[in-house]
Amino acid sequence: MLGKLSGWEDTIVALATPHGIGAIGVIRLSGEKTIEIVNQLFPSKDLSQQKSHTIHVGFLKDGDKVLDEVVISLFKNPKSYTGEDVIEISCHGSPFIQEQVIHTLTKYGARLAKPGEFTQRAFLKGKLDLTQAEAVADLIASNTEASQKTALHNIRGGFSTVLKELRDQLISFSALIELELDFSQEDVEFADRSKFYELIHRSQKVTSELLQSFQLGNVIKNGVSVAIVGKPNAGKSTLLNTLLNENRAIVSDIAGTTRDTIEEVLNINGILFRLIDTAGIRKSTDAIEVIGVEKSMEKMQQADLVLYLFDVNAESQTELETALQQVQQQNKNYLLIGNKVDVIGEEAAQQKFSGDGVLFIAAKSHRHIDVLKQRLIDKVVQGTVQTENTIVTNARHYAALQEVEKSLNDIKGGLDNNLPGDLLALDIRRCLHFLGDITGEITNEDRLDYIFSKFCIGK
Ligand SMILES: Nc1nc2c(c(=O)[nH]1)N(C=O)[C@@H](CNc1ccc(C(=O)N[C@@H](CCC(=O)O)C(=O)O)cc1)CN2
Ligand SMILES: Nc1nc2c(ncn2[C@@H]2O[C@H](COP(=O)(O)OP(=O)(O)OP(=O)(O)O)[C@@H](O)[C@H]2O)c(=O)[nH]1
Ligand SMILES: [K+]
Ligand SMILES: [Mg+2]
């Protein structure tokens, strides 16, 4: 498999730190010729004679021309990120110097790395499995504590451990079944069917928990889009500003103030909510407002969650119910929020809209905004965010787990119906295949290229 991957034997180089001016820029190399290449630019020491995990200060030179004064960190195979010889050159943070150093390294035999190629090599050398490598990309992309935690959990092998346990148990069992097949004339049963039944049952439970965690995983990784919709002057823009603690949107007592949608991100307890303030929904003759209303409807359809906001003073219960039917038609997760309770008072509001499951607030004076935030969290997370448990955040893993679940169901059905060992063995192999697919034990080159191409260069 390794031989087919193009250029895996090359020595690769890339800038590991962001482009642009910084205090220091780190250039990373990995591959067989790493030390040989850098040695030619580093006259002060013979790096091949230095121990792994040592650092060396000196001038980097291309012939007589001094390029920079640098710090070199040496990682000798297999004790490096990629498992190959790795050198990191910390040079001065000028983009010009960095380009020049990289260019010189390519002149001496290194090639520019493709996106994710360092991590791909770590995977190919067995330093990381596929879920761990994918978690590296997730960690780089993480923007909340919750997404950081899940990614770190998976880099440490949290997800792989769960899958490996399942896989190992299934493998040992399938070995017994296959053994039975060799003795098929003699009608022996090496594999204890009731123990197997238990194993399948346990595996089904683990798989279904993992599958269920995907919804939360999605929330953690991608955030939740929340459309704030309602009639003009309900106080939608006021609510956006209050939630953000910032005067982001224009508020006025003129109905139809908001024309275009406004999107802002709010972090509540580590979950990112993408709040979308929309134009108040009404029939209008104003061409621009009509477009705004169409956009509101579109945003409502696209959102994960709809906040239907209404003015408790202006709206009648019948009006509310009509509006509510429209929201329910969208088949969306929604929250009903009665605003401006400061005017008629909370009790009167409760009486007016009793039994409608409304949360009453006063956006302008921040009343019950904390309750609203908690409701938002409750809507998307059942219970607390338990990032200590394994949470599936990756659609590829989810799809494979669905196949695992299907094959487990088939195995169980097979056991129930006393299916012969050879047929059972087929289902077990299918199950093992999809488990191995997730961690990368079974995969193909194109898939790997695709997965790693999503990384940034230098990673
Ligand atoms: N300078 C630097 N910082 C970095 C990285 C890096 O590659 N270089 N990392 C890149 O993502 C992350 C840290 N991850 C790393 C994981 C493994 C190894 C490594 O050398 N592992 C060897 C040696 C372990 C040891 O000696 O204790 C190994 O696993 O064999 C290095 C970094 C973040 N910070
Ligand atoms: N008394 C009271 N007034 C509020 C409250 N929230 C908003 N308002 C007022 O209601 C009016 C309309 O507020 P906006 O936030 O512009 O309403 P909107 O829903 O965004 O309106 P459009 O963008 O026109 O659809 C403003 O005068 C606000 O000050 C509240 O909790 N109590
Ligand atoms: K308004
Ligand atoms: Mg508005």
Please report which ligand is nearest the Cα atom of 82.
1
The full 3-state SS of 130-168, as one line of letters, equals HHHHHHHHHHHHCCCHHHHHHHHHHHCCHHHHHHHHHHH
Q: Tell me the C-alpha distance between 293 and 119, whole Å.
A: 47
Domains and CATH numbers, the chain: 12-128 (3.30.1360.120), 139-219+394-439 (1.20.120.430), 227-381 (3.40.50.300)
Helix or strand run (H / E) with residue 177:
helix 158-182
Conformational region of residue 134, where left means phi above 0, alpha means psi within -120 to 50, and beta covers everything else: alpha
Identify which of 438, 413, 436 has the alpha carbon closest to the alpha carbon of residue 424: 413
Judged by DSSP in three states, 273 sits in: strand
Cα–Cα distance for residue pair 368/426, rounded to 1 Å: 58
* Nearest ligand (C-alpha, residue 241): 2
- The two tokens of residue 153 are 């959990």
pLDDT of residue 432: 94
pTM to 2 decimal places: 0.75
Res 382: pLDDT: 62
Give the closest residue (by CA) to ligand 2 atom 9.
Answer: 235
Whether 12 is in the pocket of ligand 2, judged by its Cβ within 6 Å, is no
3-state secondary structure of 413: helix
Q: What is the pLDDT of residue 1?
A: 36
At 182-194, the pLDDT tens digits run 776 666 666 678 8
Residue 60 CB coordination number (10 Å): 24
262 lines ligand 2 (CB under 6 A): no
Q: What is the pLDDT of residue 385?
A: 47
Phi then psi for residue 62, to 5 deg, are -105, 95
Nearest protein Cα to ligand 1, atom 26 = 79
CB burial of residue 35 (10 Å; 0-12, 13-18, 19+): buried
Q: Is 255 annotated as a binding residue?
A: yes
CA 32 to chain centre: 33
What is the three-state SS of 196-234?
HHHHHHHHHHHHHHHHHHHHHHHHHHHCEEEEEEECCCC
In degrees, rounded to 5, the angle at the alpha carbon of residue 269 between the alpha carbons of residues 267 and 275 is 30
DSSP 280: P
Residues having C-beta closer than 5 Å to ion ligand 3 = 233, 257
362 lines ligand 2 (CB under 6 A): yes
Pair type for strands 271-277 and 262-268: antiparallel
pLDDT for 446: 80
Is 253 a known ligand-binding residue?
A: yes
How far does the centroid of ligand 2 lie from the alpha carbon of residue 269, in Å?
27
Q: Where are the alpha helices (DSSP H) in 330-394?
A: 341-344, 346-352, 369-380
Q: What is the pLDDT of residue 64?
A: 95
Sign for the CA dihedral angle at 291, 280, 377, 326 comes to negative
| Listed residue (102, 84, 86) closest to 94, CA to CA | 102
pLDDT digits (tens), the chain, 459 positions = 343 455 678 999 999 999 888 899 999 999 999 999 999 999 999 999 999 999 999 999 999 999 999 999 999 999 999 999 999 999 998 999 999 999 999 999 999 999 999 999 999 999 999 999 999 989 988 888 888 888 998 898 889 999 999 999 899 888 888 877 777 666 666 667 888 889 999 999 999 999 988 888 888 888 999 999 999 999 999 999 999 999 999 999 999 999 999 999 999 988 899 999 999 999 988 999 889 889 999 999 999 999 999 999 999 999 999 988 988 888 888 999 999 999 999 999 999 998 778 999 999 999 999 999 999 998 887 644 455 678 898 999 999 999 999 999 999 999 899 888 888 889 999 999 999 999 988 777 887 888 888 888 888
Is the CB of residue 8 less than 8 Å from the CB of residue 121? yes
Contacts of 184 (CB under 8 A, 6+ apart): 421
Asked if ipTM goes beyond 0.95, one says no
- Cβ-count burial of 329 within 10 angstroms (0-12 exposed, 13-18 middle, 19+ buried)? exposed
* Angle between helix 130-141 and 117-124 (nearest 10): 150
CB-based burial label for 14 (10 Å; 0-12, 13-18, 19+): buried
Our mutation pick for probing the ligand 2 site, out of 228, 237, 238, counting the most ligand atoms within 8 A of Cβ, is 238
CA–CA separation, 228 vs 258, rounded Å?
12
User: How far is 206 from 386, CA to CA, in rounded Å?
Assistant: 16
Quote the pLDDT of residue 227.
96
Ligand nearest the Cα atom of residue 284: 2
Q: Which pLDDT tens digit goes with each residue over 289-300?
A: 889 889 999 999
Residues in contact with 325: Cβ distance below 8 Å, sequence separation at least 6, in sequence order = none
CA of 288 to the centre of ligand 2 (A): 20
Residue among 42, 212, 7 nearest 120 (CA): 7
The residues, any chain, with a CB within 8 Å of residue 452's CB and separated by 6 or more, are: 114, 115, 116, 117, 119, 120, 123, 133
Q: Is 346 one of the annotated binding-site residues?
A: no
Our answer on whether the CB atom of 238 is closer than 6 Å to any ligand 2 atom is yes
SS3 state of residue 376: helix
Residue 61, strand partner residues: 66
